[in-house]
Structure 1
Amino acid sequence: MAFTSESLKVFLAVLDGGSFSAAARKLGRVPSAVSMAISQLEAELDMVLFDRSTRKALPTAAAFALEPQARRVASQLNLLDAHALQLHQGLERRLTLAMAPELQTGAWSRPLATLAREFPTLEIEVRSASQAEAVRMLHEGSVQLALVFERPGIDERETFLEAGSQLLVAVAAPGSPGADQDHPLAEEQMSNLRQIIVATGEPTGSDPRVVLSHRVWLTDSYLATLDLVQAGLGWAYLPQPLIQPLIASGALSEVVFDNMASRMRLWVDIVWIKNRALGLGAKRYLELIREQVKAEPRRS
């Protein structure tokens, strides 16, 4: 085999340095060793790779033809080495997170870009799940981390990281009951007006603080909820980052209550199981979340 990981490294170093002496400095070797390695490679390939008629090592047409593939192979070798090291350090094959649908438009997805850069071989799976479903999957072991709204109590088998907050806004289509700033909804009107929530099976699948009506429609995503609200079929609490542009454009209106604010800030926890070791990717994700929380307003 002509090209090995070692000869590939020398070949690219000469290409980048423009001479054997420059390549030798980069590799920490003497120029004669670099020259010998290139000569051996040329002999095995039966072709000249560098013109030595001047003090510089000028690449031949053959060297230029081999360069793109050589760089791709070198990149793959570096990736393989990094992956092996990360596996040794405890990198999981796949990091699976369950997120309440209301949280997928918030800051909790941002650290995934850093994970993709730092651990390019790590598979990421994000599952949309109601609060109850996310916790169930966590205890079953099908996800490593669950992002849910803060609960009144916590299971002793769990541990958690407070991960900031999400602002939910009560919205309806313009012209719908409750969307008129001059006619706030009384409590009895609110409880009888159809509310659309994200939950599966029963309204109890959602956070009980956001279920205010006796008449409820369920969806499995906030985008489906948004479509129904825009069609004038009910009102809903939706994440502020999602609906703020629609409120600004007049496509949605905030619901006006006469006894409470239309905006509700809920705190968010990332939960995992105490006796289940987290992999390198999950640990790094938690570190990145901690860094984000420092920039958020503190709980009053």
Structure 2
Amino acid sequence: MLDSLSLDQLRVFVAIADHGSFSAAARRLYRAQSAVSNAVLNLESVLGVKLFDRSGWRPQLTEHGQALLVDARAILARADQLKARALGLTQGLEAELSVVVDVMFPTAQLVDLATRFQQTFPGVLLRLCVEVLGSVPERVLSGEYDLGIQGSLPDIAPELSSHVLPEITLVPVVAPDHPLAVQRKITIDTLREHTQIVLTDHSGRTRGRTFSVFSDLRILTADLGSKRAMLLAKLGWGFMPRSFVEDDLSSARLSELDLAERQPRSRKMPLIAIYRTDAPLGPAGKWVLDMLLAAEKKPTSRHS
């Protein structure tokens, strides 16, 4: 009997529940009230349960009706998603978009981007990955990911198209009871005497190279969360994205170091959107790139 279940019957069922009456649902669906009533009767027959109590002035969902309404909404949502994906595929829309982002990319911005993407492209699977340094371009160059947001590594491979995004503000921080926290105009020679927590990766692109590293005493990690934990534990000092430690600074869990001098690279970090030149972005990928560039008043392409 369930083979005779139709999406139209489910839409009528949901419309009655949402609008409170058979007549209101009929007006909403541009149908005759008799057609709406027949659709519900047929659905109840197929399911073998009574969905509405019709004894009162307005139909009321039965206990079974309330339970099955959740399933009906889910089925209709999946059906709409299927139709949207099929339509998108016929128009060249990607079935899946994969994006790899540098660990320095603000988490709140990533969540907002994913939320808006889901609302705009409900039928496209979004696959995200967080990497550090040379691992971001490696993932894009290998074809594993369509779009990358590169940050820690300043070099752009010639095979990649790139667009400069807004910079990330970096701040040197340390636990408030670390010896460096009370010093003023800290010199590079002084920094060398204390352990620095440094981000690293396993890609060959950064072998033998360091970025904003001043100390000979180092703890290496590839994860921003573990770096923060080690800073809080007084294991050393390090540069962090200000957005990532804003709450720690305001609550005095971390302190900003007073450095005597800072190189431009240690103050700001440019973020760069990258993708393979021989694999142009589709509609969903272009939308993501446009959203990333929208934060910049005058977006600049470094390679076209």
Q: TM-score range by the shorter chain?
A: 0.7 to 0.9
Matched-pair contact (CA < 8 Å) for 2:172–2:239: yes
Greater C-alpha radius of gyration: 1
Q: Paired residue for 2:259?
A: 257
Q: Of residues 178, 181, 190 in structure 1, which corresponds to 2:180? A: 178
* 1:239 to partner: Cα distance: 1.1
Partner of 1:78: 80
Instruction: Summarize deviations over 1:11-61 as a string: whole Å, max 9, x none.
Output: 44455555655444333344555456556667767888778999x884685
1:268, CA displacement in angstroms? Answer: 1.0
**Aligned in 2, Cα 1:129/1:31: closer, same or farther, shift over 3 Å?**
closer
Amino acid in the other structure paired with 1:142: E
Change (3 A) 1:2 1:156: same
Q: Is the 8 Å Cα contact of residues 167 and 240 (structure 1) preserved in structure 2?
A: yes
* Secondary structure of the corresponding residue to residue 271 of structure 1: strand
Residues 1:108 and 1:150: Cα distance change in structure 2 (over 3 Å): same
The 2-side partners of 1:90 and 1:206 are apart by 43
Bigger CA drift: 160-169 or 31-40? 31-40
The alpha-carbon distance between structure 1 residues 32 and 239, as it changes in their structure 2 partners (threshold 3 A), is same
Matches within 5 A, 1:27-66: 27-31=29-33, 33-34=35-36, 37=39, 58=59, 61=62, 64=65
The aligned length equals 294
Q: 1:165 aligns with which of 157, 164, 167?
A: 167
- Give the match for residue 100 of structure 1: 102
2:294 alignment partner, SS class: helix
Deviation at residue 175 of structure 1 after TM alignment: 4.1
Show structure 1 runs of 5+ residues with no match. Answer: none
Corresponding residue for 2:148? 146
CA contact (8 A) 2:17 2:61 kept: no
1:59-103 C-alpha deviation (Å, 9 max, x unpaired): 685984654443333333223222322333444444332222222
Using the TM superposition, give the Cα deviation of residue 165 of structure 1 relative to its aligned residue in structure 2, in angstroms.
1.4
Partner of 1:210: 212
Runs of 5+ consecutive residues of structure 2 not aligned to the other structure: 300-304
- Hey, what does 1:235 align to over in structure 2? 237
Q: Distance in 1 between matches of 2:218 and 2:210?
A: 13
Change (3 A) 1:91 1:276: same
Counterpart CA distance in 1 for 2:208 and 2:131 is: 10
Aligned counterpart, 2:201: 200
In 2, Cα distance between the equivalents of 1:147 and 1:212? 26
The one-letter code matched in structure 1 to 2:86 is A
CA deviation digits over 1:198-235, x for unaligned, max 9? 11248946984422333332101112222222333321
Q: In 2, Cα distance between the equivalents of 1:48 and 1:129? A: 53
Return 1-10 or 213-222, whichever deviates more.
1-10
CA distance in 2, matches of 1:176, 1:41: 70
| Structure-1 residue corresponding to 2:269 | 266
- Paired residue for 1:285? 288
The verdict on how the C-alpha distance between 1:198 and 1:41 changes in structure 2, with shifts beyond 3 A counting, is closer
**What CA distance in whole angstroms lies between the structure 1 residues aligned with 2:197 and 2:279?**
36
TM-score if structure 1 supplies the norm length?
Answer: 0.78
In angstroms, what is the RMSD of aligned CA positions? Answer: 3.8
Q: What secondary structure sits across from 1:275 in the alignment? A: coil
Question: How many percent of aligned residue pairs carry the same amino acid?
Answer: 26
